[in-house]
Structure 1
Amino acid sequence: MESWGGATFDTTYRFLNEDPWARLRALKAAAPNLLQQMLLRGANAVGYTSYPDNVVEAFIDEAAEAGVDVFRIFDSLNDLGSMEVSIRRVLTTGKVAEVAICYTGDVANPKRTKYTLDYYADLAKRIEDSGAHFLCIKDMAGLLRPRAAAMLVRRLREVTRLPIHLHMHDTSGNGIASYLEAIEQGVHVVDVALGSMAGLTSQPSLNALVSALRGHPRETGLANARLQPLANYWEDVREYYAPFEAGLKSTTSEVYYHEIPGGQYSNLRPQVAEMGLLARWNDVKDAFALVNVLVGDIPKVTPSSKMVGDFAIFLLKNDLTVRASTLAEAAALTRQKLIEQAPRLDFPTSVVGYFRGELGQPPNGFPEDLRAAVLKGLPRVEGRPSASLPPLDLDALQRELSAKTGHALTRVDAISSALYPRVMAGYLEDLGRYEDVSILDTPNYFYGMEVGQEVWVDLEPGKTLVISLSAVGEPDEEGVRTVYFALNGHTRTVHVRDRSRAATVEARRQADRANPSHVAASMPGTVIALHARPGDTVEAGAPLVTLEAMKMETVVRAPRAGTVAEVVPALKASVQGGDLLAVLQ
């Protein structure tokens, strides 16, 4: 059962205010006879950049101890060198190392010559030589068409003795057909989801596959009569999370064009909405395909896919895309426009990091003209990114965090902070304010109580709180409401700020594009870091402000050397594109 890792790690902290390590231990305790599998991004661990080797090794050690049995290891650019530290460490823990090939292109199309059968066969042989126990074909977007699935599995079985595990998303609707072709060629394992959670950007349906293989020599032995109650349960649970779904109503073969990974699709749409571009969703998908060509046609899986998505949104928000009759021509014209306008642009952090080499080296290298334009002289990372990073003193970090919070934090807390310092800081702050919110049921956590509703909250065995909401007062001039409730029969009140009410704030100052002293925000977001203060002398390219919106970070830099006369927004302030951020003299 794949139950951990990948995006589930930071989203547990970020959106649920829960500890992913506690979740893993609870799952292992509840299902001790099931192998628990996690998704490990090689040198990126469960993050979006490369980390020191000792951090990745410590993460693997703790994950193995907490209950992970199978580590599915991949690199977003298929760079085996960036996976070797993870593979070796998993092997030393005695756990299962399943090493993945990230599938892209189309091996059945002779015109797609970059990612051929020979490319994948060579990578598979090197993965076997690394000591892996399993070989995974990780098809993040569901690009593996049925005929291509047969060709690929047949070829890989010819060159490796490793068991082959096929992972697909079902955005195109062809997932079951591809699985059946792969099964005919002897694939050993396929990934599926229970029927009520399957299809579209998820995995193909387990219930459908069981039915399709009925009477086949490789029949599963599972019975839909026993699977259906599980599907029914998750169908009910899914209703609670409906507002967070991807918005995709039906399967679409358009995925073969834009190649957006299934796991990213549900993140990209809210990110686009946050940027005010939801009305241009179709343009965003076109821009995603355009950026893929711009950066050289790369495997797109976290974190490389995040970079492509950030870049696509950036292009649209700044009106940098150029339309043409073909995708290749549009990419060439857009590249030219980007290079010409690069001096005035603040590229997203993920894009700058990619071109610096922080994710490793893409197949066939970088487009060097675009790379130079994006980096503007910033230093480049050559070779394996983690090799140039000094070890991090996790013991010192643990002591520092414990002193800062006033609580005895653990080694896994220090590891989480090393991976996600800002996210972990926010989680620890909320934990100190609200304590463990995982004891709340899902509807009340997301949507709150209705007046007259009563809920029971189990704090611990034998200790239950009965809470009933009596009334909610009108907001005062500062937007604060008085909430009346009963706690175990005793009347209580609490004052709560109503975040749905528009706060009265000072009008945002707009930058004057004609004024060379003004530094403007190119994207909307929240100020998460201020790098300069009034009076500071800065060089051209020095960081001034960092903005963040839905995991997309942008460092706004000084367009020229000068003295900072003013920094306009405060930390945690919201800004829109065109807002004045700083004034240089």
Structure 2
Amino acid sequence: MRKVCFVDTTMRDAHQSLLATRVTTSELAKIAPLVDQVGYHAVEVWGGATFDSCVRYLDEDPWERLDVLKEKFKKTKLQMLLRGQNLLGYRNYADDVVELFVKTMSKHGIDVVRIFDALNDFRNLEQSAKAIKASGMHLQVAMSYTTSPVHNIDYFVEISDAAVELGADSLCIKDMAGLLKPGTATTLVNEIKKRHPIPLEVHSHFTTGIADMTYLKSAEAGADILDTATSSMGFGTSQPGVESIWTALHDVGLADRPDYPLLKEINDYFAGVRRNHSGTDAGFTINTSVLENQIPGGMYSNLINQLKSQNMSDKFEEVLDEVPRVRADLGYPPLVTPTSQIVGVQAVLNVMNKERYKTITKEVERYIKGFYGSPPAEIEKSLKSRVMGVEESISHRPGDTLDLEVEKGRSELGLLAQNDEDLLIYLLLGEVGKKFLAQRYQNSLRVDFDVAKDFKEGITVYPV
């Protein structure tokens, strides 16, 4: 009988969703050899917000994290999440940056790359897909799942065709906010599997409390792989717990019997890790209102922390109400990085200013102008007119008009670009990356950090 496989997300999406991506490399490395024994199809260890968080908050090199975990996982494939032309940053990068980044992450041991575009505009995946295939890694193309007047079964089946045309080795239904319902999942999985006999993975979050039922129905309908996390780092805005999902699938003959003692040891370890990060724990259980506001796990925890930092925690419910209104105005983009940040920040500003669109962020303007791709539906007319005037949004692939960045960045960094890894930290994270590198090399290169920390974008750091 067909058996369903599992991907463990504990080391990436789980703590991104629950703990604002603050789990350290050493915390992950200690338990990695045990996780390697479980028999997962793959472990998701990198990508998403980890690249930024390592540098910005943890003072860690994200490339070194990958090296450490690659050494620990002797049997299990390493998987990551890549945002197409956005890579692991928050804007579209030039094609030469995409190519260099993909080559470099392949060199550091990534086996499976899940790529997606927030708008399901697969023009934004063309360059990364090509580079991934050329590097010999497994290409998984994800469809960002959401619901709206334009997002229906036919829509997702149609874009699955486009994903296969990109050269996908496998497909993924990426349900960021836990919106995929069991009955819909049955139909969607059936339709996709009928058209495309390649592995299909289902990724969801427990935010709305229905993901475990959705997983069961997806597996019964033909899904090959499910994303889960160890229970102490699961549920809430994270993925369903692996122990319960594995047990349920074993009971219906779709999985072998799990190794409960091994899973318990891993679960107990991560329970301690979670206690260590209680200060950033979103403390979220289940909220069925997410079926309406559609806020995904990572966005939810980050909104909470953002409002706390602005002393606006009392405005949280207002922001939750404003998010779907902004989303509708912008043509119903799926709420996933970077569109979740674009919509979220604008919603916070609308509430803070007590007037909608009194201030429009630069990223909302760029979105409306088409620099992130084509929105799923029409943008609200008065908002679009205010931003565009008589201009038209761009219609070409957004990456086509971007100037090459690699050599320019290398020139700007000077001796701080000791290797391609350093250069990519700067190219993706800008001044934050430059300060990180200056601090790292201030002794070996005799960089005056007191001077370097004041440098702005485009200014070269020279050794003293």
The answer to whether TM tops 0.5 is: yes
- Matched with 1:102 is 144
For these two proteins, the number of residue pairs brought into alignment is: 407
| 2:363 equivalent among 337, 350, 354 | 350
Distance, in Å, in 2 between the alignment partners of 1:116 and 1:351 is 25
Say yes or no: does 1:83 pair with 2:125. yes
Aligned equivalent of 1:295, options 330, 339, 343: 330
1:148–1:205: structure 2 CA closer, same or farther, 3 Å change rule?
Answer: same
Cross-structure match for 2:216: 180
What's the C-alpha RMSD, in Å, of the aligned pairs? 2.2
Task: Summarize the Cα distance change of 1:306–1:409 in structure 2 as closer, same or farther, 3 Å threshold.
Answer: same
Q: Is contact 1:398-1:409 (8 Å) kept?
A: no
Cα drift, residue 284 of structure 1: 0.9
Alpha-carbon deviations, 1:426-482, whole Å to 9, x = none?
2124435699xxxxxxxxxxxxxxxxxxxxxxxxxxxxxxxxxxxxxxxxxxxxxxx
1:425 aligns to 2:434 (yes or no): yes
Counterpart secondary structure, 2:77 = coil
Letter in 2 for 1:37: Q
Q: Name the structure 1 match of 2:38.
A: none
Q: What's the secondary structure of 1:191's corresponding residue?
A: strand
From 50, 54, 59, the counterpart of 1:12: 54
Q: How much has 1:424 moved relative to structure 2?
A: 0.3
Structure 1 residues 528, 312: CA separation in 2 closer, same or farther (over 3 Å shift)?
farther
Q: Which residue of 1 aligns with 2:4?
A: none
Whether the aligned pair in 2 keeps the contact of 1:37 and 1:72 (CA below 8 Å) is yes
Kept after mapping to 2: 8 A contact 1:37/1:69: yes
One-letter amino acid of the structure 2 residue matched with residue 28 of structure 1: K
Q: Distance in 1 between matches of 2:276 and 2:311?
A: 25
Task: State the shift of 1:30 in Å.
Answer: 1.1
2:305 is matched with: 270
CA distance in 2, matches of 1:224, 1:293: 45
Larger Rg: 1
1: distance between equivalents of 2:302 and 2:439?
A: 23
What is the aligned counterpart of 2:413 among 397, 401, 413?
Answer: 401
Q: Pick the structure with more strand per residue.
A: 1
Is 1:414 paired with 2:449?
A: no
Gaps of 5+ in 2: 1-42, 445-453, 458-464
Which residue of the partner structure matches residue 474 of structure 1? none
Between 68-77 and 113-122, report the one with greater CA deviation: 113-122
Amino acid at match of 1:189: I
In structure 2, relative to structure 1, the CA distance for the partners of 1:223 and 1:291 (3 Å cut) is: same
Query: What is the CA distance between 1:367 and its match in structure 2?
Result: 3.0
Segment of structure 1 superposing worse, 167-176 or 375-384: 375-384
- Matched residue of 1:83: which SS? helix
Given that 1:36 and 1:68 are in contact with CA atoms closer than 8 Å, whether structure 2 keeps it comes out as yes
Percent identity over paired residues: 33
TM-score by length of 1: 0.66
Structure 2 match to 1:215: 251
Distance 1:115 1:424 in 2: 37
Distance 2:141 2:160 in 1: 9
Q: 1:164 maps to which residue?
A: 200
Q: Secondary structure at the match of 2:228?
A: coil
State the 1:377 CA deviation.
7.6
1:520-543: CA deviation from partner (whole Å, max 9, x where unpaired): xxxxxxx9989xxxxxxxxxxxxx
Contact 2:330 2:378 in 1 (8 A): no
Displacement of 1:357 in angstroms is: 1.7
Give the C-alpha shift of residue 379 in structure 1.
8.5
* Structure 1 pair 384–365 and aligned structure 2 pair: CA distance change class (3 A): farther
Give the unaligned 5+ runs of structure 1. Answer: 106-111, 322-337, 339-344, 436-526, 531-585
Aligned CA distance change for structure 1 residues 293 and 231 (closer, same or farther; 3 Å) = same
Structure 2 contact 332–375 (Cα < 8 Å) conserved: no
8 Å CA contact retained: 1:57, 1:86: yes
The answer to whether 1:52 aligns with 2:61 is: no
Post-superposition shift, 1:283? 0.7
Name the aligned partner's letter for residue 72 of structure 2: A
1:271-296: CA deviations, max 9, x gaps? 12223321111111001121112212
Distance 1:61 1:244 in 2: 33
Give the deviation of 1:382 after TM superposition: 3.4
How far did 1:252 drift? 1.3
Residue type matched to 2:82 in 1? L
Q: Secondary structure at the match of 2:98?
A: helix
Structure 1 residue corresponding to 2:113, chosen from 48, 62, 71: 71
Contact 1:37 1:71 in 2 (8 A): yes
Counterpart secondary structure, 2:174: strand
C-alpha displacement at 1:240, in angstroms?
Answer: 1.1
How far 1:18 sits from its partner (Å)? 0.7
Q: Is the 8 A contact 1:40 1:71 kept in 2?
A: yes
Give distance in 2, aligned partners of 1:225 and 1:29.
Answer: 24
What secondary structure does 2:403 align onto? coil
More helix by share: 2
- Separation of aligned partners in 1, 2:393 and 2:431: 25
Mapped contact 1:210–1:223 kept (Cα < 8 A)? no
Tell me, what secondary structure is at the counterpart of 2:298? helix
